[in-house]
């Protein structure tokens, strides 16, 4: 089946569905110029520039032990405050606007789905746009953290922590349960921009009970054999053609 035939099949599935859920990973944000820190380039860049692999730099214990290095890495490579939504984000927001899509579940922390207009977004790993003082719990936006030289501090003297889930930390239980419920109720599940290797996010696919499981990713995934449709192409290109053309 060629790419155009697959996109036509995707269009037909969307037309027949009324409770679509989208589960997305780093590949969705890559098309907005945000690098995937799990890629070879991201790992080597972290080690070359900061002396540690990303998994260590982004761990809770490292944040506590070496906040200066943590924030230097975080602000240099993870805080993309000038990134803009791409065709994938815009297509998903349009599907929600049409009453077709009920939720977006994302592993990304950039807030681009909301910027594109999506309202129901489950951010499994938190967001760069929410930051809290560890002492008085005052809220700060991403720009405050980005513009603050070195480690960001609250006027009260407490250190500010981004509301992102670090390694060694648990995902928000309400967020996970909400995402599970959405997947269980879905009549179509579109999974895009993820290799489905990172858990518990990848495990969400197991809660889907329908027969319209679509995987859109440039490379193969462990779940390809379970999908009703697999498209190995750019997520932005595929969703844009399926929704707007």
Q: Which residues are catalytic?
A: 125
Q: What is the 3-state secondary structure (H, E, C) of the chain?
A: CCHHHHHHHHHHHHHHCCCEEEEECHHHHHCCCCCCCCCHHHHHHHHHHHCCCHHHHCEHHHHHHCHHHHHHHHHHHHCCCCCCCCHHHHHHHHHHHCCCEEEEEECCCCCHHHHHCCCCEEECCEEEEEEEECCCCCEECHHHHHHCCCCCECCCCCEEEEEECCECCCCCHHHHHHHHHHHHHCCEEEEECCCCCCCCHHHHHHHCCCCCEEEECCCCCCCHHHCCEEECCCHHHHHHHHHHC
d(CA 225, CA 101): 24
| Tokens 């951010």, located at residue | 123
């Amino acid at each position: 089946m060629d790419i155009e035939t697959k996109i036509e099949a995707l269009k037909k599935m969307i037309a027949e569905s009324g409770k679509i859920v989208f589960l997305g990973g780093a590949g969705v944000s890559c098309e907005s110029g945000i690098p995937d820190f799990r890629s070879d380039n991201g790992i080597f860049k972290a080690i070359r520039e900061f002396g540690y692999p990303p998994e260590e730099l982004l761990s809770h214990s490292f944040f506590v032990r070496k906040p200066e290095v943590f924030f230097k890495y975080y602000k240099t490579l993870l805080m993309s405050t000038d990134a803009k939504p791409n065709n994938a984000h815009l297509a998903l927001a349009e599907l929600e606007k049409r009453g077709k899509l009920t939720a977006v579940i994302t592993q990304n922390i950039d807030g681009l789905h909301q910027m594109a207009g999506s309202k129901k977004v489950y951010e499994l790993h938190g967001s760069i746009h929410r930051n809290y003082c560890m002492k008085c719990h005052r809220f700060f936006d991403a720009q405050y953290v980005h513009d603050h030289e070195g480690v960001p501090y609250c006027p009260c003297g407490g250190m500010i922590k981004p509301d992102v889930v670090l390694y060694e930390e648990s995902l928000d239980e309400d967020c996970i349960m909400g995402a599970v419920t959405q997947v269980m109720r879905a009549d179509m599940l579109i999974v895009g921009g993820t290799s489905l290797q990172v858990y518990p996010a990848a495990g969400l696919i197991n809660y889907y009970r329908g027969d319209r499981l679509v995987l859109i990713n440039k490379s193969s995934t462990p779940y390809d054999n379970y999908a009703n449709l697999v498209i190995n192409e750019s997520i932005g290109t595929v969703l844009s053609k399926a929704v707007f053309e």
